[in-house]
Amino acid sequence: MNGEALDFPILSMLVFMPVAGAVIITLLSKRRPEYMKLVAAVSSVATGAMSIWLTAEFNGHESGFQFVSKHSWIEQWGISWHLGVDGISLFLILLTGVLFPLAILGIDPHNDDPAKNKPYLAWLLLLEAGVMGSFMSLDLFLFFVFFEIVLVPMYFLIGGWGYEGRVQAATKFFLYTMIGSAFMLVSIMATVFIASRNGVGHVTFDLVEIAEHAEFAASTGRWLFFGFAVAFAVKVPIFPLHTWLPDAHTQAPTAGSVVLAGVMLKLGTYGLLRFGLYLFPEASLWSRHLWLSLAVIGIIYGAIAATMQKDLKRLVAYSSVAHLGFIVLGIFAVTSQSITGAVMQMVNHGVSTGALFLLVGMIYERRHTRQIADLKGIQSVAPIFAAAFMIVMLSSIGVPGLNGFVGEYLILIGSFMSARWYVVVASTGVILAALYLLWAYQRVFHGEPDEANKTFAELKLKEAAVLLPFIAVIVFAGVYPKPILERIEPAVDALITHVEDKTGYESPQPAAVATISEEGE
Amino acid sequence: MLDVIWLIPAFPLAGFLLILLFGRRLGEPKSGYLASAMVLASFVVSVGAYFDLLSMDSHERAHIETLFSWVPVSSLQIDMAFLADPLSITMCLFVTGIGFLIHLFAVGYMHGDPNFSKFFLYLNLFVLSMTILVLGENLLVTFLGWEGVGTCSYLLISFWHQRESAATAGKKAFVTNRVGDWGFMLAMFLGFEAVGSVSYHALNGAAEAGSLATSTATGIALLLFVGAVGKSAQLPLYIWLPDAMEGPTPVSALIHAATMVTAGVFLMTRMNPMLAAAAPEASTIIAVVGALTALFAATIAVAQTDIKKVLAYSTVSQLGYMFLAVGSGAFVAAIFHMVTHAFFKALMFLGSGSVIHGMHHEQDMRKMGALRKLMPITAATFIVGWLAIAGVPPFAGFWSKDEILLFALAKGGTWGPILYVVGLVTAVLTAFYMTRQVIMVFFGEAKWESHANAAEAPEGEDEMTHGAHGEFKPHESPPIMLFPLVVLAGLAAVGGLIQLPAFGFIPDGWQHKLEHWLEPVVEAGEAHIAGTSAYDNKELLALLAIACALIGIGVAVAIYAKKLVKPVEPQLLADGWKYDSGVSAFMGGPGRKAFEAIAWFDKNVVDGAVHGVAKLVGGAGGQIRKTQTGNVRNYAGIVGVGVVLLLAWFVIGRGVL
């Protein structure tokens, strides 16, 4: 079935449903916290259900945008409410839709005060709307609005419900990403007006129109791209712009960390694809060696920094720097496998790292510490908890049969054809990933538990219920990734064709197998 | 049976899932029997597949069973598919056959362990991974099994994780193996780039058709060898295997002797056409690494005092022989030695497990001696294994080792004779250190009487079976542990029958059976040595090999049994040439310092710069604010400044608009 003919504005609903939830919660009386939770649950679960429905109805054979919803907004400037979904954004939307109800229902804010629940839940729902909107916007202005909206709830979530250094971390997060956004805003304005004179013919913020018709002079395109790139590079984060991340992750409440790692970082990599490669193919290719270098540095550097962390949450945060490096590598290697792998890895990282943050949050709830040195021998007292951690860890390490491997493998095998020596170095990241995670696991879970850890509680039913969906995805996507890959690939191939058409670049293909099949017969 | 070849991994998968769900309820010993039964079922399917293949014309003996499309992205199409051919079925037969025996043994050995079910959970997961590894139709399915066995190895080595050494050893095994996996992955990438596929059929087909550049074939072959070096514990990555002995002994027998560590040899054999298409230096490198490892590990084995460490270094050494075979184009001999080695090494590991069990978890051979009287069956079967590995005819090891040495010599050139001599010297050492072990453990005077207090056993074990403390007497193991020993001893005795050489006195129909069986798989890579002077003198070479074995045995008897000469066991050898400790010292010293330096750099330089800029801006902002009456909010302020700066840049600097 073709989504475009659909009457039900599913994409708009994905944005409005959490907004409605946030508004209702704000209007509710402070004395009825149970209603707040109920409203948050209903709106986030409904959003999640719609995202699942969207995935099921998505036409996997089509490369263009589906379920498009377009309404003129500020007509004289060519700004419209323009939403659409393709294979690149589909699973990020699904991930957002599923992750939020789990974070809202499964995790209680750690300094729990029922009165403070109200803004907490409202901010989370508003955050969801912002993330959803960012992944679906096909209008530059609209995208910028959503991209910025995301910052505000995150700032308050870290600042209001975080840990000891929360205020500083929140401020750093906010300022850092704001500065990046400032660059992007300028670029958006300039892009729109330059495009209107060069190929598009009128002032419009429509992403597709600009990408298809605008003819930027090479140097102009590079400057415009630069503005976007800075914003996304901070968001990813790409080395050396990454230092806000460990602070924000460590200080954020568990739900904040899960969402931050799960979907927010992907705004950066998604942006690089949608507003980098798609909008400025020439500039992206021109600068690709810079990106590839920074990606590889991030992989190695993030892993090494992760190895030496003393705080478990910080360790996971640095592992994100390494993992996101793989994704950036895949994007700028520009092959069908590498970009498809990168898109899948965005989802995988969200699942695996999201689950790791959940588990670290559970450890903190029990022991009120995140210091690796304070933890010991947990496997002896909580074997099921340890087993859950083990599976998630193996997924993060990239053990085949689990989700993380498929994405990483596709990124590397695809990138090898266009960026061979980068891959040779990047692949050593898989050794380091094993090193930092297994070492951490050994220190936290192995050995005889000391007095403080002897009473470490086993996984509770509610916790297991939250973790189970993560583990199910980890196993399913590792064993049978085909349903995911075949929905991503058409959009990626269309993107590569677009890049090739615009620049004359040829994405490398493996040598044909024809000679062998002739011999074989 | 061939179209249900997936049943071979499916049974252990079922066992894994059942124990995962019901393991605690099943408990001991039911979960152990369930796991064993599943592996036995796989063995039965393997036997059925074997006869199916046998009934086919020899060049049609390859059946691909595709389950589903696994990783399909445009030009890359990887199926979850299994390949049943003489090589994979040979591997399945001995993996599941020996696997079953070791499962049975473990039911006895792990008696009383609080995590009894979990042990069999991991063990079945291992067999699942191992059968996927050998049945894979393409490199990626093999890699799935490859990493799976590595993960199981990690889980099982650190099974008794309360001991820090066990936890560390598991981690070390995984990380070191990953160094090799790096090579394996790059080989896949290179193969895909060159051929557009990672299936064995396509890669080997391209190699045989000559459509691969020699440099590409060499690259793929050597990168795969890097993977093999990690998994099969060769120089310089062998260091994890001796430490892996921290795992329960059935694990050492199954994973770290008989099956997993041979995966590298299997992989090279599977890819033999690629090696044939590669530059000849690639084979020479493999042969040299193999021979060096064989000799190096054998020199270390002569000075070990831990009963399992001797066997561990011996395994490294024997795997070196297999790579010497691979590098000499003796793929059949490599598989032959892999199978015979699996018989006698699994036998000796289980035998050592029986000894350790009987000695209440004592592993120091200096505290043993004269155990043959108290553990007659363990001793008798161990002696069969000893004769097999020492190269005494007609036991299995003699035939397979002899064939490798023959091919090494026949390789010719500069390296052939050198490799041959290294192989012979290693054979002397092998006979020597194994004899030393047999004497120290089973003969001589009993030294355990003075060591009434056994080393502390892992908790929960043996408290039931052994009476009050103080009373210490080694005892024979229960039947469930002895049965596998007896079967393996039988196999170690007669295993040579599968590939007897073309000696005059051996009837034609008995010769080269394995070679005929494997021929369709290895014909591209197998060296043809008929006509070489080495081949013409093969009986003479065999006699020389026997002489070497007898020398090794004789010297050891003279030193350790007759005490004619005082034993010389240099500390340097006991310390493994200080290689392992050197690596550890480097990792813990300069390596760690470098890591710490980067963490420091991140905190103080990268983040420091950010904070510096923030302070600067904050200071400037404060100054500006003083001149303003209103309160400029951060958001608007920064956006505004950025917009102005960038617009100015665009207009003035770039001339746009």
| CA atoms of B264 and B270, how far apart (whole Å) | 10
Task: Check pLDDT > 60 for residue B29.
Answer: yes
Searching chain B, which residue's CA lies closest to the CA of residue A516?
B206
Q: Which of residues 603-622 of B touch A (CB under 8 A)?
A: 606-607, 609-610, 614
* B13 vs A contacts (CB less than 8 Å): none
Cα three-residue angle B568-B570-B573, rounded to 5 degrees: 125
DSSP string, B498-515: GGB---TTS-GGGBSHHH
What letter represents residue A56's amino acid?
A: A
B595 min Cα distance to partner chain A (Å): 6
| pLDDT score at A406 | 96
Label residue B243 by pLDDT band (50, 70, 90): very high
Main-chain phi, psi angles of A139, to 5 degrees? -125, 130
Nearest residue, CB atoms, B162 vs list A243, A428, A448:
A448
Q: Which of residues 172-231 of A touch B (CB under 8 A)?
A: 172, 174-176, 178-179, 181-183, 185-187, 189-190, 193-194, 219-220, 223, 227
The 10 Å Cβ neighbour count of residue A486 is: 16
Nearest residue, CB atoms, B639 vs list A185, A427, A428:
A185
**pLDDT tens track for B131-190:** 999 999 999 999 999 999 999 999 999 999 999 999 999 999 999 999 999 999 999 999
Kindly state whether B595 is in contact with chain A, defined as any CB-CB distance less than 8 angstroms. yes
E strands present in B308-457: none
Q: Which of residues 302-331 of A touch B (CB under 8 A)?
A: 304-305, 307-309
| pLDDT score at A149 | 87
Main-chain phi, psi angles of A407, to 5 degrees? -65, -50
Helix (H, G, I), strand (E, B) or coil at B290: helix
Searching chain B, which residue's CA lies closest to the CA of residue A173?
B610
Task: Check pLDDT > 60 for residue B646.
Answer: no
Kindly state whether A514 is in contact with chain B, defined as any CB-CB distance less than 8 angstroms. no
Are residues A305 and B610, on separate chains, in Cβ contact within 8 Å?
no
* A338 vs B contacts (CB less than 8 Å): none
| pLDDT score at A164 | 86
Cβ-proximal residues to B508 (8 Å cutoff; 6+ apart), any chain: none
Give the DSSP H/E element, type plus range, for residue B260.
none
Nearest residue, CB atoms, B74 vs list A190, A336, A516:
A336
Q: Give the end-to-end CA distance of chain A in Å, rounded to a whole number.
A: 41
**pLDDT tens track for B320-349:** 999 999 999 999 999 999 999 999 999 999
Searching chain B, which residue's CA lies closest to the CA of residue A376?
B162
A435 min Cα distance to partner chain B (Å): 6
- Indicate the Cα dihedral angle A89, A91, A92, A93, nearest 10°: 90
Label residue B465 by pLDDT band (50, 70, 90): very low
- Indicate the Cα dihedral angle B309, B311, B314, B319, nearest 10°: -110
* B211 vs A contacts (CB less than 8 Å): 515-516, 519
DSSP string, B298-328: HHHHTT--BHHHHHHHHHHHHHHHHHHHHHT
* A515 vs B contacts (CB less than 8 Å): 206, 209, 211
* B189 vs A contacts (CB less than 8 Å): 412-413, 416, 423
Q: How many helices (H) and strands (E) does chain B have?
A: 26, 2
Tokens of B156: 């099982």
Kindly state whether A399 is in contact with chain B, defined as any CB-CB distance less than 8 angstroms. yes
Question: Is residue A504 left, alpha or beta, with left meaning phi > 0 and alpha meaning psi from -120 to 50?
Answer: left
A80 min Cα distance to partner chain B (Å): 23
CA gyration radius for chain B? 29
A436 min Cα distance to partner chain B (Å): 10
| pLDDT score at B580 | 87
Kindly state whether A507 is in contact with chain B, defined as any CB-CB distance less than 8 angstroms. no
| CA atoms of B299 and B405, how far apart (whole Å) | 19
Are residues B195 and A511, on separate chains, in Cβ contact within 8 Å?
yes
CA distances from A469 to A45, A323, A386 (A): 14, 21, 17
Q: Which residues in chain A come in under a pLDDT of 70? A: 1-7, 110-115, 512-521
Main-chain phi, psi angles of B511, to 5 degrees? -90, 145
Length of chain A: 521
Are residues A430 and B654, on separate chains, in Cβ contact within 8 Å?
no
| pLDDT score at A512 | 62
| CA atoms of B305 and B573, how far apart (whole Å) | 11
Nearest to A340 by CA among A55, A88, A84: A88
Nearest residue, CB atoms, B73 vs list A336, A442, A508:
A336
Are residues A227 and B595, on separate chains, in Cβ contact within 8 Å?
no
B53 min Cα distance to partner chain A (Å): 21
What letter represents residue A16's amino acid?
A: F
| pLDDT score at B642 | 55
B70 min Cα distance to partner chain A (Å): 6
**pLDDT tens track for B391-424:** 998 899 999 999 999 999 998 888 999 999 999 9
The 10 Å Cβ neighbour count of residue B28 is: 17
**pLDDT tens track for A474-495:** 999 999 999 999 999 999 999 9
Q: What is the DSSP letter of B255?
A: I
| pLDDT score at B445 | 84
* B9 vs A contacts (CB less than 8 Å): none
Are residues B598 and A244, on separate chains, in Cβ contact within 8 Å?
no
**pLDDT tens track for B32-69:** 999 999 999 999 999 999 999 999 988 889 999 999 99
CA gyration radius for chain A? 22
Kindly state whether A165 is in contact with chain B, defined as any CB-CB distance less than 8 angstroms. no
Cβ-proximal residues to A1 (8 Å cutoff; 6+ apart), any chain: A57, A59
| Tokens 């040579």 found at | B496
**pLDDT tens track for B608-644:** 888 888 777 777 666 655 555 444 345 545 555 554 5
* A227 vs B contacts (CB less than 8 Å): 646
Are residues A512 and B196, on separate chains, in Cβ contact within 8 Å?
yes
Tokens of B382: 């161990």
The half-sphere exposure of A120 on its side-chain side, counting CA atoms within 13 A, is: 27
Question: Is residue A458 left, alpha or beta, with left meaning phi > 0 and alpha meaning psi from -120 to 50?
Answer: beta
Searching chain B, which residue's CA lies closest to the CA of residue A438?
B171
Nearest residue, CB atoms, B73 vs list A305, A309, A410:
A410
Tokens of A388: 């859950």
| pLDDT score at B456 | 44
Tokens of A494: 């269309």
The 10 Å Cβ neighbour count of residue A393 is: 23
Q: What is the DSSP letter of A460?
A: P
Cβ-proximal residues to B444 (8 Å cutoff; 6+ apart), any chain: B369, B370, B560, B561
| CA atoms of B291 and B252, how far apart (whole Å) | 23
Best A186, A294, A458 residue to mutate vs chain B (most B CBs within 10 Å) = A186
Searching chain A, which residue's CA lies closest to the CA of residue B613?
A176
Q: Do B240 and B270 meet the contact criterion of CB atoms below 8 Å apart?
A: no
Nearest residue, CB atoms, A413 vs list B151, B179, B188:
B188
Nearest to B409 by CA among B297, B503, B333: B333
Lowest mean pLDDT among A254-268, B371-385, B502-516, B625-639: B625-639
CA distances from A123 to A163, A257, B246, B351 (A): 17, 14, 51, 65
Nearest residue, CB atoms, B595 vs list A308, A485, A508:
A308
Nearest residue, CB atoms, B596 vs list A219, A308, A439:
A308
Helix (H, G, I), strand (E, B) or coil at A253: coil
| CA atoms of A488 and B289, how far apart (whole Å) | 44
Burial class (CB in 10 A: 0-12, 13-18, 19+), A152: middle
Length of chain B: 657
Are residues A337 and B654, on separate chains, in Cβ contact within 8 Å?
no
Are residues A182 and B654, on separate chains, in Cβ contact within 8 Å?
no
| CA atoms of A281 and A77, how far apart (whole Å) | 25
Are residues A301 and B598, on separate chains, in Cβ contact within 8 Å?
yes
Cα three-residue angle B284-B287-B288, rounded to 5 degrees: 85
Exposure string of A54-76, with b = 16+ CB inside 10 Å and e = fewer, is bbeebbbebbebbbbbeeeeeee
